[in-house]
Every structure is written in C-alpha cells, then in structure tokens.
Amino acid sequence: MKICDLIIRYPTLRKMDGICRLRTFVSNDQKIVALITSVDDKNTSSSITNNIESICKYLIKKGFVRPDSTFVEHYESQAFFRETFDFIKVNQNGSAEWTPAEKSEIIKLLNCEASEFESSTFKHGRLVSEIEQLRLAINPRIDFLPNEDTEGIQRSLEIEKNQITRDSIWKLVDSGSNEIELQKHVKKDLSILAEVYAHPEDEYICFSEFPIGAGIVDFVVFTGRSRMDVILIEVKGADFFLTNAGNYNKISSKAEIALDQIRNRLRYIYENYDAFRQKVHEIREKVQSRQTLYNSFQGCFRFLEVDSEKDIKVQSIVIAGRTRDDYEESKKRHDYEFNSIRIMIESWDSWLRKLRRE
C-alpha cells in the first residue's frame, strides 16, 4: 500500500543539493519500504547512486521512514536501458551495498499494482511541477546555457565536422554490404554509436576492436554517471534478414554467431568481474590522460563523472541483418531480449531509425 509519492531535495557532498522521487509503501509484513527513483537529467546534482548513502540517512533523519525500513533504488526505463531495481543496504561504516531485484519481486514487496510502474515520472503533471520548482529553488540559473570551456567547444565542433551521415550508412545497408564494409564505415566516426547509447549524450569514450578475454568486441562505449555503463556492440552485415522466412521463432544463423560471441564475452566478464571492472577503469583513465587505446574516441567532455569504486553496468547489443517484417520481428526481438541476459538485438533498419542526424 502506498503512503506518499513526492519529489524530495536531498543533501550531497557537493555544493548543490540533488532531487529524486520518493514513494513510501507499507509491505505485507507491515514494514516501511522507501522506493527512491531517479529523475534522470533533471537532477540538480550527481546521481542517486552516487548519493544513496546520504539519501537513506536523510530520509531517516527527516522522519520519512524508520531506521529499520527497506530501501530500493529505482531507475525507470530509457530508450536503450531497461528499468532496474536494487535493494540498498547501508553498512555500519556508511558504505552501501546493491542487490539487484526483479520488478515482480518489488511489486509483491510493495503490495501494489503493476500499474504503479506503467508510466514514467515525467508523465505525472504534479510531479513534473514539483521537480521544476525544486530545481529553480536550488539554482535559479539552472536552465541558462552553460559556459563551456574552450576545449569542449572545439571538440564539439571537430566531432560535428567529421560526422558521417545516416544516409551514407543507409546506402551501404540497402546495397547489402557485409560486416567488414559496415564496420569500416562506422570506424570513421564512432560518435554515431555514442549518439544512440551515450547518456549523458556528450559524456562518452568509444572504442573499436576492444579486447575482452580471449576475443574482441567490435565496438564498446563507456558512458554514464557514478556507476559507469560499459556497452558492448557486435556488428554483422546487411546481406541477410535478421529472422528466417516464414518462421519467426528463429533468429538467422548469422545473427546467432554474433549472439554467441557476445555471450562468450559476457561469460568472461562475469566470471572475472572484479578484474574486468578494474581493467576498464584503468583504460578509461589512460584515455582521459590523452593516450589512444583501441582506436579510442572521446566526446566533448574529456573526463567521465564515474566512480571507479562502484559497480559497472554492462549492456550488450547485436546489430545484424535487415528487417523483413517490422511487427513480427519486433515481437521476436523483444521475446529474445526478455529471455536473455542483457542482450539487445537490432536489425540495421531498426537501429538506423534511432539516429537523430541526417
């Protein structure tokens, strides 16, 4: 049963307070559960993940919840990232531990309807109004254009000048180009990958031919705030259809090769998680110090605001083949993604439609 649903202002270690959505519930065993939801780029400070210890202590101090309450960190779904829930435990030394949870588990715990999560925060007029009021109270100049540093402006202009066009890839796809031809073209401008997957949009490092274990991944994107997102992208050609003719229960064998490659890379990552997390942060720091590794390509901001001590979030995407039937293929892709571990499938048609550039 839900008790309250509001936007709160929380203290941070930075000069500027942050904001998040807070919902409190009474669970079936009569315990209080605090659901702490990110408001994404409307937050006035660093992410709820980066400040989760402070938020939990603040909620207890201000009487929103009891000390024995359950805390859940929540990120709503975005264009390319699934909705996530994590149980939060704040240890006696003040550090937090995250334990991933399934939505069904959270709905049962909160004793609420599934409809509680059907619409995003930004579709609730009252909550949007509260967000805007708090943002302006924290910083009346928050919506003014930022004074970017000279290096950032120069980098932005350089990226824009050297961009490949969406149309140039469409032409390759329409002509049935193979994976080597498509990979070669994408390598000319890795910002095209960041345009789809980087969040915040100008904060990223892209790589090609990135080594993981005994193999490589075609492309990788580092992005995110606080906990770094590591996005693996495997690319196949446009010289086949993603799904087999007359049988939408099967993905093309060529796409399955890419899926197997991604599965092998994911298996290595999770069997060697701590070493991999340390390695990607070492690579990030070297690139930020102006070393070039694995054809690295940086966005407008040289430094990612991520914490090397926190967990990384690994996502994986396979881009392969052409669309035969949008509706049937979409159902098949969603079924596959639902039943797989962190693997998203795109045809070249569906992926290119996501680009903003001409």
- Residue 45, pLDDT score: 86
Place of tokens 């083949």: 321
132-191 residue pLDDT tens: 999 999 888 777 655 556 777 888 889 989 999 999 999 999 999 999 999 999 999 999
Confidence of residue 333 (pLDDT cuts 50, 70, 90): low
Mean pLDDT, the chain, as a whole number?
Answer: 89
30-85 residue pLDDT tens: 899 999 999 988 998 888 998 899 999 999 999 999 999 999 999 998 766 789 99
- In single-letter form, the type of residue at position 335 comes to D
Give the architecture (CATH level 2) of 150-352: 3-Layer(aba) Sandwich (3.40)
Confidence of residue 273 (pLDDT cuts 50, 70, 90): very high
Output the pTM of the full model.
0.65
Q: Which of 255, 251, 204, 250 is nearest to 230 (CA)?
A: 204
- Residue 227, pLDDT score: 86
Q: For the chain, give every residue range classified as CATH 3.40.91.
A: 150-352
